[in-house]
Amino acid sequence: MAEPRGHLKRKLGLSTWIAVVCVLAALHALPWVFPSILHIMIMIFLFSLMGQGWNVLGGYAGQFSFGHSLFFGVGAYVSSLLFVRLGLTPWIGIFVSCGAGILLGLFVGFLSFRYGLKGPFFALIMLAFAEIFHMTATGWSAVGGALGVLIPLKGNAPGLMQFLRKEPFYFLTLWMMVGSLYLVWRLESTRLGLYFLATREDHDAAEALGVNTFRAQMAAMAISAGLTSIGGTIYAQYLLYIDPDSTFGVVNSVEIMLRPIIGGPGTILGPLLGSVVLTPLSEITRLAFQSYSGVYLMIYGLILVAVIMFLPDGLIGFARRVVKKFQKGAA
C-alpha cells in the first residue's frame, strides 16, 4: 500500500514552484504598475474565494447549490451588525461570521443530506433558504429592513478593517484567495477529499465501500459555507454598505456558482479562472451600458448555455482536452 499513499503526497515540480512564485511576485507588484484596475482585481479575488467555497460543495462533493448567497449574506450581515451595534471589530467579526455560516450550513446540510436530498432538490432547498433569509432581512427592521446596513466610515482604521486606499483590500483578498487555493489543493490529497469525490461519483457505491457519505457531505458543506461567509464579510467592509438584495439576492448565488462552473467544477483553479473571465466582463459591460444594468447578466446567460452545451467540464477541462490532443498529435 506504499505506492498509492506516496501518490497522494502533494509535491510540485521545481518548474511549477518557480511559476507560482513568479505569478505571486507579479501580483504583488501589480498595484504599483496598474493602480487603475485594483477594483476589478479585488472583485476577481473575492468572487474567486467564494466560488472556491461553492466549488468544494458543488464541484468536489457534487451537491449543486442554487443558494450560496445565503452564506454570502450571513457573512456580510453578522460582521456588519456586530460592528454597528456592538462596536466589535470586523477582524473578530469575520470569525464570528465564518462560524455562523458554518453552523447554518451544517443545519441546512443536516436537514437535506439526512434525507438524501440531491440534484435539483438540494439546489432548490438552498434557494428556498436563501430566499427566506432575503425576505426576513427585507421585512425585519431590527436588521436594517429593505434599507440595509450602512457601515460608518471611521477613516483609515486598519484595526476596524477599514482603509481609505484600495491596496490593503487588494492584498487581503489576494491572500485569502491564495489561502483558499492552498486549502483545496491540500484537501484534494486527504482522505476527506477522496470521500468527496467518491460521494459525487457514485453515492451508493461509496456508501457500500464504507464511506460515510453523510459526514463527507456535511464536511463539504461546512468548508463551503465558511469560505463563502468570509467573502461576505470582506465584501461588506470593502463597500461599507449592504442591503438584502445585494447580499441575499438570487443574482449573488448566480455570481458565485457561475465562476467554478465556467472555469471548471471540481478543479483547483476553476473558480479563479472563471472569475478572471467573468468579473472584468461584468464590470466593463456595467460601465459600457450604464442604463441597461442587466446586459452583463444576459452575457452570463449566453456563456452559461454555451458552456453547458459545449464545454460541460469548463474551461479547464477544455484546456486539458486541447493539450491531450496536441500531445497525441506530437507522438
Q: In the complex, which residues of this chain contact another protein (CB under 8 A)?
A: 64, 66, 111-112, 115-117, 119-121, 123-125, 127-129, 131-132, 135-136, 138-140, 146, 250, 254, 261, 292-295, 297-298, 300-305, 308-309, 312
CB of 285 to another protein, least distance (A): 11
CA atoms within 13 A on the CB side of 190: 13
Who contacts 168 (Cβ-Cβ below 8 Å, separation ≥6)? 158
Give 157's strand partners. 162
What is the residue whose three cell numbers read 496598474?
34
> Smaller CB distance to another protein: residue 35 or 119?
119
Q: How far is the CB of 124 from another protein (least distance, A)?
A: 6
Q: Judged by CB, which is closer to another protein: 38, or 250?
A: 250
Which of these, 297, 275, 249, lies nearest to 52 by C-alpha position? 275
**In the block, residue with C-alpha cell 459591460:** 285
By C-beta, is 92 or 302 nearer to another protein?
Answer: 302
Q: Please, what is the minimum distance in Å from the beta carbon of residue 194 to another protein?
A: 20
- Residue among 45 and 296 whose Cβ is closer to another protein: 296
Element (H, E) at 128: helix 120-139
Shortest separation between residue 222's beta carbon and another protein, angstroms: 19
- Please identify, using beta-carbon distances, which residue of 115 and 241 lies nearer to another protein: 115
Q: How many residues are there in the chain? A: 331
**Cα gap 150→243, rounded to integer Å:** 9
Q: How many C-beta neighbours within 10 Å does residue 267 have?
A: 23
CA distance 225 to 240: 22
Half-sphere exposure of 276 (CA within 13 A, CB side): 11
| Residue 314 backbone phi and psi in degrees, to 5 | 75, 180
Closest contact distance (angstroms) between CB of 135 and another protein is 5
Least CB distance to another protein at residue 22 (A): 35
Query: 63 or 162: whose CB is closer to another protein?
Result: 63
